[in-house]
Amino acid sequence: MNEISIHGKIFIPYIPFDKIEERTKSITKDLEKEYKGKNVMFLGILNGAFMFMSELMRHYENACKISFVKVSSYHGMESAGKIHELIGLNEDLSDYDVIIVEDIIDTGLTIISIIDAVKKLNAKSVATATLLFKKEALKIDFTPDYIGFEIPNRFVLGFGLDYDGLGRNHKDIYQLKP
């Protein structure tokens, strides 16, 4: 892993793919135990969660459905604090235990908005799985059900996370150089 430059900012290696894969396998095993025999739908949050969702699904062996919703709350490197739903939920969730899959939870505003929308569609239950959790950035009282890594409130990219649309394609996670 070498440092990378995007839009004139330097990002240094932070979490290598092998650690991401190891942690994702562990989360998947927990999910398989918890949801064995249940009617499960994984709901991935685009664009950022696509790689984490893919990695979870690559290892998940129980029957499940997969869907996605696209929302946006970032502008550059800052959370806008406002949710802009781009593609809404159009699935009937009344028979499903829904697991919302996020790339990162920082302020908590996006995930709470999505949880509320899923509950309004009568899901049997709603759980959250996030690759990254910035507990110190939370603006609400919330803890995800499944956490890949708790990280400090620093800007990161790679493995689906971006900076103004760039950097999602890196298999490792990078942190903004101080």
Task: Provide DSSP, 42-58.
Answer: EEEEETTTHHHHHHHHH
Specify whether 106 is catalytic. yes
Distance CA 134, CA 136 (A): 6
Distance CA 54, CA 109 (A): 24
Give me the helix-helix angle, 50-59 and 17-35, nearest 10°.
60
Task: Provide DSSP, 110-166.
Answer: HHHHHHHHHHHTT-SEEEEEEEEE-GGG-SSS---SEEEEE--S--EEBTTB-BTTB
Q: What is the pairing mode between strands 125-133 and 65-75?
A: unpaired
**Set 18, 103, 106, 141: catalytic member:** 106
Q: What is the DSSP letter of 62?
A: S
Catalytic center residues: 106
